[in-house]
Chain A
Amino acid sequence: MIRIESRRSGINIVRFNAFERFVHWMTATCFIIMAVSGLNITFGKDVLLPLIGPTTFSSWTLAAKYAHNFLSFPFTLGVILIVLIWIAENIPNRVDVEWFKRGGGMVGQDRPPAYRFNGGQKGTYWIVVLGGTAAAVSGYLLMFPFYGTTIVGMQLAQVIHGVVAMLFVAAMLAHTYIGTIGMEGAFEAMGEGTVDLNWAKEHHSLWLEEEMARTGPDKLRRQPSATPAE
């Protein structure tokens, strides 16, 4: 786990507002359900069917397929909103090159500077945007067979949907790991919407400078339950 080296300050700063967290959780929840139901479509017959039997497997798979289809709409809406609210802050720049050169602060004690989103987070963003778009377009082609496509288009959609979805799941596993147990203080950003000041200093120093210049220290919130650094 990547820890907050200077320990918690007990002072929090707003990192994601309520709307941003809403969009994140709407997309993430749909993604998890669609990932599980999609994996069931691909591997369920070999993995689950022998374990739970044909009757249970049929009921589960039918429900999972309906969930997969219906949740594609809030998922697609979430991806569109993600594009709109975060694209300006996810354009790669020179700071990201430096961030990658220094291993993203994941190796050793080095903490390369970053704006609101570091190079790795920008990579995740573009995986979500491009992968989500590819999965949605190919998925809708599969949901509406032969609407404006031939059997060749259907085959391509099937392959693209399967491959993109598999890579997407792998990338989101890494994203989930680093956003939860992989880094101390990271989950709070999407959980409560705030992060500890020392976390922000260590991982997003340039963003913190911008925020302090924009809002001033008045916007910082002291956490009554947190243990301040000594």
Chain B
Amino acid sequence: MRAFLVACLAIVVVGTGGYFFLNAMQEPSGVAYATGGARISTSWVWRSVIGPNGADEPTTKTAQAGECDMRKTWQWIFVDFGKPDGESATCSASQ
């Protein structure tokens, strides 16, 4: 019982230390969630990790309006497993 009571006391002491530590170290959520790390990089997708035809293929030109077919919804579901047949690298990058 004494060990438990001392443990409770230690929890209060260390927990209070934690309170001051977090007060000093944590940023307000409005700041913490506005850093560069919080931004989704459009150049990084899972297919660049798991697929042979990565999204990191160099594309030197951008697609012109009307040059590429818009992907259908079901194609977006499987987008991480590769690009639709026949789609050029330029069109993949611009989707």
- A contact set with B: CB distance below 8 Å: 18, 21-26, 29-30, 69-74, 77, 143-146, 149-154, 191, 193
Given A26-B7, A145-B32, A146-B33, A70 and B18 touching (CB < 8 A)? yes
Produce 1/0 per residue, B14-25, CB < 8 A to A.
111111011001
Asked whether, in the complex, the Cβ of A70 is within 8 Å of the Cβ of B33, the reply is no
A172 to chain B: closest CB distance in Å? 16
CB distance from A109 to the nearest CB of B (A): 33
Residues of B within 8 A of A150 (CB): 37, 41
A144, B18: Cα distance in complex, Å? 13
Given A144-B25, A151-B38, A73–B3 Cβ distance below 8 Å?
Answer: no
Contact across chains for B32 and A71 when beta carbons are under 8 A apart: no
Chain B residue at minimal CB-CB distance from A27: B7
- Contact indicator A22/B7 (Cβ below 8 Å): yes
- A71: nearest residue on chain B (CB-CB)? B15
Q: Which residues of the partner chain B approach A153 to less than 8 Å between Cβ atoms?
A: 37
Q: How far is the CB of B28 from chain A (nearest CB, A)?
A: 11
Q: Which residue of B lies closest to A26 (CB)?
A: B7
Given contacts A145-B38, A149-B37, A151-B38, is CB(A26)–CB(B10) below 8 Å? Answer: yes
Main SS at interface, chain A: helix
Question: In the complex where A151-B37, A151-B38 touch, is A73 in contact with B7 (Cβ < 8 A)?
Answer: no
When the two chains form their complex, are residues B39 and A144 in contact, meaning their CB atoms are under 8 A apart?
no
Task: Give the interface residue-count category, chain B.
Answer: 20 to 34
Interchain nearest-CB distance for A159 vs B (Å): 14
Q: Is the CB of B37 within 8 A of A29?
A: no
Q: How far is the CB of B12 from chain A (nearest CB, A)?
A: 9
- Given contact pairs A74-B15, A145-B38, A151-B38, A22 touches B6 in the complex (Cβ within 8 A): yes
B68 at interface, CB cutoff 8 A: no
Known: A18-B2, A69-B22. A25 touches B7 (CB 8 A): yes
Residues of the B chain whose Cβ atoms lie less than 8 Å from the Cβ of A74: 10-11, 14-15, 18
The answer to whether the Cβ of B4 comes within 8 Å of any Cβ in the partner chain is yes
Determine which of A29, A72, A193 lies in contact with B8 in the assembled complex, contact meaning CB atoms within 8 Å.
Answer: A29
**Residue with the greatest number of chain A CB neighbours at <10 A, chosen from B3, B6, B22:** B3
| Cβ–Cβ contact B32 & A146, under 8 A | yes
Contacts A/B (CB < 8 Å), 10 sampled? A18-B2, A22-B10, A25-B4, A70-B16, A72-B18, A143-B26, A146-B32, A151-B39, A154-B37, A191-B1
In the complex, residue of chain A having the shortest beta-carbon distance to the beta carbon of B4: A25
User: How far, in Å, is A208 (CB) from chain B's closest CB?
Assistant: 22
Residue of B nearest to A191 (CB): B1
A24 to B19, CA, bound (A): 22
Inter-subunit contact B19/A70 (CB<8 Å)? yes
Given contacts A26-B7, A145-B33, A146-B33, 19 further A-B contacts (CB under 8 A): A21-B3, A21-B7, A24-B7, A25-B7, A25-B8, A29-B11, A69-B18, A70-B15, A70-B22, A71-B15, A72-B18, A74-B10, A74-B15, A74-B18, A143-B26, A144-B26, A144-B32, A146-B36, A151-B38
